Structure 1
Amino acid sequence: MQTSTKNDASKIILLAEDDKLSVSYFKAVLSGEGFEVIHVDNGIDAVETVRNNPDLSVVLMDIKMPQKSGVEAAREIRSFNPDLPLIAQTAFALAGDKESILDAGFNAYITKPVSREDLLAIVKRFL
Structure 2
Amino acid sequence: MTSQNLSTQLRALVVDDNILNRKIHERMLNGLGVECMVVANGKEAVDVHFYGQSFDLILMDKDMPIMNGIEATKELRSMGINSLIVGVSSRSMEAEIREFMEAGLNDYHVKPLTTHKLASIIHNINPNYATK
Asked whether the two chains share a fold, i.e. TM above 0.5, the reply is: yes
Percent identity reads: 26
Alignment deviations for residues 73-100 of structure 1 (CA, whole Å, 9 cap, x no partner) = 0000010125221111001221222221
Name the amino acid aligned to 1:55.
S
Q: Does 1:22 align with 2:41?
A: no
Structure 1 CA distance, aligned partners of 2:8 and 2:41?
Answer: 24
- Contact 2:26/2:37, CA 8 A, preserved across alignment: no
| Structure 1 length-normalised TM | 0.85
Please report the RMSD computed on the Cα atoms of aligned residues, expressed in angstroms. Answer: 1.8
Rounded to whole Å, the distance in 2 between the matches of 1:66 and 1:37 is 22
Larger Rg: 2
Q: Match of 1:77?
A: 76
In 1, the alpha carbon distance for the partners of 2:100 and 2:121 equals 16
Q: TM-score, normalised by structure 2?
A: 0.83
The 5 A counterparts of 1:1-127 are 10-127=9-126
Moved over 3 A (4+): none
List alignment gaps of at least 5 residues for structure 1: 1-6
